[in-house]
Amino acid sequence: MSRRLVITADDLGRESGTTEVIAALLAEGNVTATTLICVSPAAERAAELARELGVLPRLHVTLTSERGLPRWRPLDAAASLVDPDGTLTDDPFALGARGEASDVVREADAQLRWMRDRGLSPVAADSHAGTLYGLHGRSWLAEALEWCARHGFAFRLPRDPEPYFGGPLPPPLAAAHERAVAHADALGVAIPETIATNRRTATDLGSYEQLRDDYLRRLAQLPEGTSELFLHPSREDAVAGPDGIVRAWETRLLRDPAWHAALEREGIELTDSWWP
């Protein structure tokens, strides 16, 4: 069995700067997939660019706003998902404390309709800021998998979680993950072998070279089967705070000859999906 890799640029539609960078990376062939945020003011332009490029984004189910940007509003005014002003909180833990499963599913349905109304019919979904997974309170992973099964979608849930978490999961989380993978398999929801991303800040990394070396190490450790590497490329001036530095570094990485040489050296086959 060969090692195959989906290289995903998350957050198409986050704002105009990120959207422009991701569209350029797609046009250059430096990423193989992207995910679309439907609730932002830049979403219409993002959908237009996806159509122009002939790219079908995954639905990036978005239940929280982004710090440093004006708050987003849900497409379905579900009470448990919003603050008193009707906007999505930028605190995943606040959402995790109050969100109701029925409201989560209604909002996912509304975002799917939004994409389809614009000529984009996704075949897979994932979770913006990881809110569906229960990492910030309540878990809606079972409901998300059942929702994916109803629509025939694949879903970003790693069969092997250790590369993402950096080691074995704590026993309660390991048991929950094992149940989720079994549930996905029973429902026929396709999931990747593993997933990987950068979870370190610019301060932790210290330099672009350290980020690049971390990603090169991840390439060397990819298992057989189809995995996903998801990044958040952007321009430094498009994202407030230190996150902008890391996103600019990820943009640089995806164009770095050393990165492309490593992909070739490792014999990794690039693909746009982990499902048939």
Q: What is the pLDDT of residues 14-73, one digit of tens each?
A: 999 999 999 999 999 999 999 999 999 999 999 999 999 999 999 999 999 999 999 999
At residue 78, the pLDDT reads 87
The enclosing domain of 59 has a CATH number of 3.20.20.370
Structural domain boundaries enclosing 207: 3-271
Q: How many domains is the chain partitioned into structurally?
A: 1
Cβ atoms of residues 215 and 259 within 8 Å: yes
Report field, pTM of the whole predicted structure over 0.95: yes
At residue 96, the pLDDT reads 97
Domain assignment of residue 215, yes or no:
yes
- Which residues of the chain carry a pLDDT beneath 50? none
Domain assignment of residue 276, yes or no:
no
Domain assignment of residue 118, yes or no:
yes
At residue 77, the pLDDT reads 82
